[in-house]
Amino acid sequence: MGHSLIPHRRGSVYLIVLMTSMIVTVIGLSALLVMRVQLRAAANTNDSAQARLFARSGIEMGLLWIQQDPNWRTKKGNGLWADNVPMGSGTFSLEAFDPVDDDITDSPDDPVILTATGIKGQSRHKLQVTLEPRTGLGAVEVSLHAGDDIIMKDVTINSNQTISANGDIDGQGNTEIYADAQAAGNVVGGTYFGSVVRNVPEREMPDPDTALDYYIANGTPINYNDLFIGGVNLLTNPGFESGTTDWYPFNSGCDIAVDSSKAKTGSSSLLVSNRTAPWAGPAHDITDQIVSGATYHVEAQAQKVDVNVSGIKITVRIEYKETAISLPKFSYWSTAPQTAGGKWKRLQGDFTLAWVGTLESAVMYVETDTSLESFRIDDAVLIELGLTSDRRIRHTVLSPSNNPFGTGVTNPQGIYVLDCLGKKVFIEDCRIVGTLVMIDPGSGSAVQGSVSWEPAVANYPALLVDDQIIIGIGTTGLSESSLNENFNPPGTPYPYPLGSENLDVLDAYPSMIKGLVYSATTIVFQNHPIIDGVVVAEEDVLVRSSDLDLRYRSTYVDKPPPGFGGTQPRMVLETGSWRRIVD
C-alpha cells in the first residue's frame, strides 16, 4: 500500500515545477513588454519635444525672413511659406495669413499670424503667434534709451520696462536698477534686479537734424525776453493780498480798492476806478529800491473792467536835485502801451535811469495814453537785473488755450517753440499741457521744482531740446494754495482734456512729466523725477545722486509722433499671443 503512492508524488512535483516555469516565463515576457512600451513612450515623448522645438524654429525662421527682407509681404505673400523643410531628424512647415482682410500684400499696417507645424516621427506640434506692425523707432520701445552711455551713481532706478544704451550702461557706487538692462556695449557696476543683456544690436535713433522740424514749423514762438525774470521782487504787497497797503492813487486822481472777485493769482487784485486823467492810476513808492545807472525789470498784469482799456502802460517817474541847483529835475520811462481786454494782459519792460545828485523821489505807477476807463492790476514786479540773468516759466499755465507770454497767441496743438538764445532758462512750479521745443538753452537750464506736464496731443512729445537739459523735478505735488496760483483755469481742465476746471486755488497735482522727453545731446536727472512715458537722448543719460521712476508708455511705438517713426513698420510679437493649435 505504501509503495503505490510514489508515482503520484513524482507527478505532482513535476506539475509544480512546470507551473513555476510558466509563471517565470510570463513575468519575463511581461517585463520585456513593459520595457518595450516604456521605450516606445520615451521615444514618443522625445519625438513630441523635438516636434515642438521644430515648430518654434519655424516661427523663428519666419521672423528672420521678415527682418531680413523689407519686401517680405509681396515676396512671401499669403499662405504657405515653407513646406516640410528638413530640420534635424524632422521637418517644419510655415503658413502666414492676414486676420484683417486675408491679404498680407495690400497694407503694411495689417497684423500677420504665423502658424508653424513641427513633425518628428509620429509626433506633430502646431504653434501660432501674432505679429503686429510698429512704426516707432527702436529707441522708443523702451522706457529710457541713450545713443551713447547711461551713467548712474548712487541712485535707485525703477522701471516697468527696459533701459537701454547703444553704448555702455554703468552703475557706479551704490546704484540699484529695478529694470531689465540692455546695451550694445557692456553693462557694469551697480546691482541689477532684472535681466542683463550685453552686445545687443543698436536701437534706431531719431535724426537729430530733423527730429524737431515738424514742431518748429507748426509751433507758436515764445520770445525769450517775454519769459518771467528770476530774482527778488523789490515791491511790497505786489499781489494785493494785504489790501491796498503800500499802494496809493497817483496825484489823488483815482480810487483804488481790493477786488476779490477777480485775480490773476491769489485771491484778489486791485480795482482802479473814477479816474480823472490818463495819468491817474495806482502807484508804489520805489525811492529806496532803485539806484542810479542800474537796470531794472518791471511788470504787472492788467485787465479791463467794462470795456477794453487802450494805451495802458507802466511808468516810472523820478525826481532828483543836482548839487548847488535848487530846482528839481524829472525823468520818466514807460513800457510800450498795450490794450487790456477780458484776459489778463502782461505789461513789462526794462529801464535804466541815471542821475547826478540826490534822488528826491521815485514812483512806479500804471496809467493810460488817453483813456479814462477803469481797470484792474495784479502781480506787480520790480527786479534789479544784473543780480540775475535767468528767465523762467513759473507759477503759470501754458496750454492750447493759455499762453501768458508776449501777445498771448495760443497754439491749438499746444506746440510752443522757445529760442533760449544760449541763455539759462528754468521751468519750475507750473503746469504745462503741450509740447515745448527748447532751442539753444544755456548751460544749467533745467526743469525743476514741482511741475505737472503732459502733451496736449496724446502721442506728441512733452519736451524736445536741441542741447543738454537737466530734469530735476521732485515728488512734491504742485499745490495751488502754496503758490496762490490756479492751474486748471477755464480751457485747461485737469486731467486734460475732459477733467474739471475752476477759478479757485484749492487743487493739487502730481509732479511728473507724462510723455516723451528728448534731447539731441544729453539729459541729466537730479532730485527724484517721475517720467510717465519715454526718455531718449542722442548722447548720454546721466543720473546723479537721485532716484528716477520710469513708467513706460507704448503710445510712442504704437503711434509714433513726427520725427520718431521709422520708414517701414517693424513687425513685433504681440504680447501673450504664443499659443498651441490643436487640429
Residues 481-540 have pLDDT tens digits of 888 789 999 999 999 999 999 988 899 999 999 999 999 999 999 999 999 999 999 999
Which residues in 176-210 are b (16+ Cβ under 10 Å) and which e? bbebbbbbbbebebbebebeeeeeeeebbbbebee
User: Under a CB-based contact definition with an 8 Å cutoff, are residues 534 and 143 in contact?
Assistant: yes
Strand 548-552, strand 196-197: pairing? unpaired
Q: Say if residue 368 is in the same domain as residue 515.
A: no
Asked whether residue 238 falls in the same domain as residue 358, the answer is yes
Query: Are 162 and 221 in the same domain?
Result: yes
Last residue of a domain, one of 384, 403, 436: 384
Question: Cell match 493780498: residue?
Answer: 241
In a domain, 568, yes or no: no
Cell of 296: 531794472
Question: 191-205, 313-327, 520-534: which range is least confident on average?
Answer: 313-327
Average pLDDT, the chain: 90
Residue 457 resides in a domain: yes
Domain's final residue, options 336, 367, 384: 384
- Reading the block at residue 182, the C-alpha cell is 540692455
How much of the chain, in percent, has pLDDT values that exceed 90? 76
Residue 523's pLDDT is 97
Q: Which residue has the cell 522757445?
A: 418
Residues facing residue 579 across a β-bridge: 128
Q: Which helix (H) or strand (E) holds 484?
A: none
Contact 57, 87 (CB under 8 A): yes
Is there a domain that residue 271 lies in? yes
Same domain, residue pair 380 and 240: yes
Cβ atoms of 420 and 445 closer than 8 Å? yes
Closest by alpha carbon to 480, among 228, 263, 232? 263
Domain presence at residue 286? yes
Residue type, 557: V
Select the highest-mean-pLDDT range: 71-80, 386-395, 425-434: 425-434
Using CA atoms, how far residue 146 sits from 143, 187, 212, in Å, is 11, 13, 18
Q: Do residues 534 and 461 make contact, with C-beta atoms less than 8 angstroms apart?
A: no
DSSP 3: G
Phi then psi for residue 140, to 5 deg, are -100, 10
Other Cβ atoms closer than 10 A to 374: 17
CA distance 396 to 503: 13
Between 425 and 20, name the one with better pLDDT.
Answer: 425
| Residue 491: alpha-carbon gap to chain centroid | 22
Q: How many CB atoms lie within 10 A of CB 536?
A: 27
CB within 8 A of 252, min separation 6: which ones?
Answer: none
Beta-carbon count within 10 A of 546 CB: 20
In a domain? residue 424: yes
Pair (131, 30) in one structural domain: yes
Comparing 127 with 485, the larger pLDDT belongs to: 127
Instruction: Give the pLDDT band (50/70/90) at residue 387.
Output: low
**What is the grid cell recorded at 146?**
541713450
Q: What is the pLDDT of residue 536?
A: 98
What pLDDT is stored for residue 289 in this prediction? 93
| Cis preceding-peptide flag for 497 (omega within 30 of 0) | yes
Calculate mean pLDDT across residues 17-40: 58
Instruction: Give me the mean pLDDT over the 98-127 stretch.
Output: 92
Reference 186, options 173, 177, 198, 175; nearest CA is 198
Pick the last residue of a domain from 353, 384, 415. Answer: 384
Domain shared by 517 and 438, yes or no = yes
Residues 254 and 374 in one domain: yes
pLDDT at residue 566 in the model: 72
In this predicted model, which residue has the larger pLDDT, 583 or 541? 541
Instruction: Judge whether 119 lies within some domain.
Output: yes
Residues 47 and 148 in one domain: no
- As a whole number of angstroms, the distance between CA 465 and CA 445 comes to 11
The rounded percent of the chain whose pLDDT value lies above 70 is: 91
* Section 452-474 average pLDDT: 97
Whether the CB-CB separation of 401 and 413 falls below 8 Å is answered with: no
Note the pTM of the prediction, 2 decimals. 0.71
Parallel, antiparallel or unpaired: strands 508-509 and 478-479: antiparallel
450 and 554 fall within a common domain: yes
Instruction: Please state which of the ranges 37-51, 91-105, 161-175 shows the lowest mean pLDDT.
Output: 37-51
| Residue reference for cell 525823468 | 331
* Residue 511 lies inside a defined structural domain of this protein: yes
Specify the higher pLDDT residue, 82 or 5: 82
pLDDT (mean) for 98-118: 92
Closest CA to 269 of 314, 236, 301: 301
Task: Please give the sequence-ordered ranges of beta strands (E in DSSP) within 59-180, or none if there are none.
Answer: 79-87, 90-97, 112-120, 123-136, 144-146, 150-153, 156-159, 163-165, 169-178
> Does residue 422 share a domain with residue 335?
no
pLDDT (average), residues 76-92: 93
pLDDT reported for residue 22: 65
Q: Give whichever of 26-40, 178-192, 314-328, 560-574 has the largest mean pLDDT.
A: 178-192
> 67 burial class (0-12, 13-18, 19+ CB within 10 angstroms)?
exposed
Q: What is the rounded distance in angstroms from the CA atom of residue 198 to the CA atom of residue 186? A: 6
Mark whether 223 and 235 lie in a shared domain.
Answer: no
Reference 417, options 223, 577, 255, 284; nearest CA is: 223
Q: How far apart are CA 119 and CA 93, in angstroms?
A: 9
**Domain housing 113:** 3-136+576-580
Q: What is the pLDDT of residue 108?
A: 84
d(CA 183, CA 198): 5
Q: How many domains does the chain have?
A: 3
The whole-number pLDDT of residue 139 equals 95
Strands 309-321 and 329-334: antiparallel
What are 252-276's pLDDT values in tens digits? 999 999 999 998 888 899 999 999 9
Separation between Cα atoms, residue 80 and residue 466, nearest integer Å: 48
Q: How many CA atoms lie within 13 A of 12 on its CB side?
A: 5
| 451: CB partners within 8 A, 6+ apart | 427, 428, 429, 430, 431, 432, 473, 478, 511, 512, 513
The yes-or-no verdict on residue 6 having pLDDT over 50 is no
